[in-house]
Amino acid sequence: MNETEKIDWIEKLPLLKKIIEKQEVLWRNPLNSDSATGIAQSGITAADVKEASDRLKRFAPYIANVFPETAATNGIIESPITAIPKMKEALAATYETAIPGELLLKQDNALPISGSIKARGGIYEVLKHAETLAIEHGLIEQDGDYTRFAEPEFRNLFAKHKIAVGSTGNLGLSIGIMSAKLGFNVTVHMSADAKQWKKDLLREKGVTVVEYADDYSKAVEEGRRQAEADPLCHFVDDENSLDLFLGYAVAGERVAEQLQERGKKVDEDNPLFVYLPCGVGGGPGGVAFGLKLQFGDNVHCFFAEPTHSPCMTIGMMTGLHDEVSVTDFGLDNQTAADGLAVGTPSAFVGKKMEPLLEGCYTVADETMFKLLTMIADTEDIRLEPSALAGMTGPIQAIRNEMPKADAPSAMHLVWGTGGSMVPENEMDIYYGIGKGIGRK
Ligand SMILES: *Cc1c(COP(=O)(O)O)cnc(C)c1O
C-alpha cells in the first residue's frame, strides 16, 4: 500500500486514524446482518458442525485413555463456564462503568491437553486426519472401537505420515502434542515471538521444532512450502482450514448445553454478548459461527485484538482481508499477547464473519497485564495475556451503547482463551508486570 492509498483509506474510515495511534477503539461492523442470512452465505451448515461433533464423540474413548486428565469428562475436551462477580465489580470500578448484566468466563485456559482454545480446532483436525488415514487403510470403521488408535498397527501407519503447522505457539502445542501421541512425524514451524518454554515442551514430546527469526506469517509460509513438496505431509493451514474452523465451532453446542445446565435462557430479552480474542481469526471465527448456529440473532459476538496487531479489525473495515497488513498502516505487530501477534488476518474467516460479527475492538498490552493481575487477585484465575483481550468487551459494548449491552438480563461471556500451560515462573512475571501497571 502506498502513501496516497493509505491517506485515502483514513479519509474514508476516520476510525483508522485512532487505530494507527494505537488507541483502544471499538469498530461496529456495518455489514452485520441477520444470522440466518449470514449462516446461509457462509456455505457452512449445522450438519457440517454436527459431523465434527460426532467425530469428537467417536474419539472420546481413545482420548480418555491416552489423556487421563480428560477421564472426568469421558474424553470430551471441554472447559467450564465460571461466573466472575468479583472481577465484574473490579472492572466496573476501574472503568467507572456499571455492568448491570452477569459476567461469565469461558475457561479455555483450563482446557485439557494443551491449555488453550487451540485444543478445540487443532486437536480436531489431527484426529480427523488420523481417522481418514485409518479408514483408507482398512484399520477401522466409523462404528469401530476407537481406543484401538493407540495400538501399534495404527501407530506404525501414522509414523509413515507427517503433519506440519506454522504457529506463534499455542496451535503448535495442540497439533504437536496430539500428533506425537498418535505417532505421527510432526514438525512445528515457530515464529520469533513463540516462547522458549513452548519449544522446549514440544521437543520433549518428540516434536520437531523449526525456528524462524521472522513473524507468524513467515513461519506459516515456510511450513506450507515445505509440506507441499511432500505428498505424505498434511499441513494444518491456520489461515484457511475448514477443519480447524469446524473443530472450534463445536463450542457452540457445548456452550448451549452449559448455559442450559445453569438454568440460563438466551432469547430476545436475555441477550448473550461474547468477547473473543482474535489472532488470525480461526479460533474466534469458528466459535462465533458455532454460537450463531445455536443462538442466532440473540448472540452478539465481538473480536478483541491488541492495539499493535489489529489485523482482523483493519482487514474487515477495509474489506481487504488478507491483502492488508497492520504494517501497511505503520503498526509494528509487537505485542506480549503472543497468541494474537498476527499482522495479516485469515480472509477465509474474515469473509464468513462479515454478516455475523457485531464488531471488533482493540486492547493495549498494558490493559491486558493490568486485567491479568486483577483476575488473579479477585478470582484466583490465571490467564495468559492474550486471554485478557476479551475482558474489556463489556465495558466497550456498554460505553458504545450497543443495544441491550447494559440490560440487567444481559449475559457477558468473556472467552478466556489460554493460560494453564504457562510455567509458574513466567506467570509470576506477568502478574508482577500487571501489579506495577495497576499501581501507576
Ligand atoms: C490462538 C489464540 C487466540 C486466537 O486464535 P486465532 O485462531 O489465532 O484467531 C487467542 N488466544 C489465545 C491464547 C490463543 O492461543
Domain boundaries, the chain: 3-114+245-439, 118-241
Architecture of domain 3-114+245-439: 3-Layer(aba) Sandwich (3.40)
- Residue 171 pLDDT exceeds 80: yes
Per-residue pLDDT tens digits for 327-380 = 999 999 999 998 899 999 999 999 999 999 999 999 999 999 999 999 999 999
Give how far the C-alpha of residue 331 lies from the chain's centroid of Cα atoms, to the nearest Å.
22
Tell me the average pLDDT across 43-59. 98
Query: Does ligand 1 come within 6 angstroms of the Cβ of 118?
Result: yes
Task: Identify whether the C-beta of residue 266 lies closer than 8 Å to the C-beta of residue 299.
Answer: yes
Q: Say yes or no: CB of residue 315 within 6 Å of ligand 1.
A: no
| CA of residue 424 to ligand 1 center, whole Å | 21
- State the average pLDDT over residues 134-154: 98
CATH of 118-241, one of 3.40.50.720, 1.10.443.10, 3.40.50.1100, 3.10.20.30: 3.40.50.1100
**Number of neighbours of residue 75 by Cβ within 10 angstroms:** 21
pLDDT band at 73 (very low <50, low <70, confident <90, very high): very high
**Ligand 1 atom with minimal separation from the 384 CA:** 13
350 lines ligand 1 (CB under 6 A): no
The span from the CA of 319 to the CA of 54, in Å, is: 35
CA distance 163 to 206: 13
Distance 349 CA to ligand 1 centre (A): 13
Question: Which of 384, 417, 426 has the most ligand 1 atoms within 8 A of CB, as the residue to mutate?
Answer: 417
Q: How many angstroms separate the CA atoms of 320 and 322, rounded?
A: 6
Is 195 touching ligand 1 by the criterion CB < 6 Å?
no
Topology alike, domains 3-114+245-439 and 118-241 = yes
Residue with CA at minimum distance from ligand 1 atom 10:
277
User: Which ligand 1 atom lies nearest to the CA of residue 277?
Assistant: 10
Lowest model confidence (mean pLDDT) among 37-41, 45-49, 163-167: 163-167
Mean pLDDT of 233-254: 96
Confidence of residue 436 (pLDDT cuts 50, 70, 90): very high
Q: What angle do CA 164, 170, 175 make, to 5 degrees?
A: 35
Strand-by-strand arrangement of the 233-236 sheet: 208-211, 185-190, 162-167, 233-236
Q: pLDDT digit string (tens) for 382-422?
A: 999 999 999 999 999 999 999 999 999 999 999 999 999 99
Tell me how far the alpha carbon of residue 339 lies from the centroid of ligand 1, in angstroms. Answer: 5
In a mutational test of the pocket of ligand 1, which residue from 170, 311, 368, 415 has the highest number of ligand atoms less than 8 Å from its CB?
170
With a 6 A CB cut-off, is 279 part of the ligand 1 pocket?
Answer: yes
**Is 390 touching ligand 1 by the criterion CB < 6 Å?**
no
Pairing of strands 411-416, 102-107: parallel
Is the confidence at residue 127, as pLDDT, over 80?
yes
Q: Which amino acid is at 102?
A: E
Model confidence pTM above 0.95: yes
Decide if pLDDT at 440 tops 70: no
Residue 193 near residue 219, CB atoms below 8 Å: no
Encode pLDDT of 275-318 as tens digits. 999 999 999 999 999 999 999 999 999 999 999 999 999 999 99
Question: How far is the centre of ligand 1, averaged over its atoms, from the C-alpha of 282 (Å)?
Answer: 8
- CA torsion angle 419 423 428 433 (round to 10): -60
pLDDT above 80 for 167: yes
Average pLDDT, the chain: 96
CA of 156 to the centre of ligand 1 (A): 32
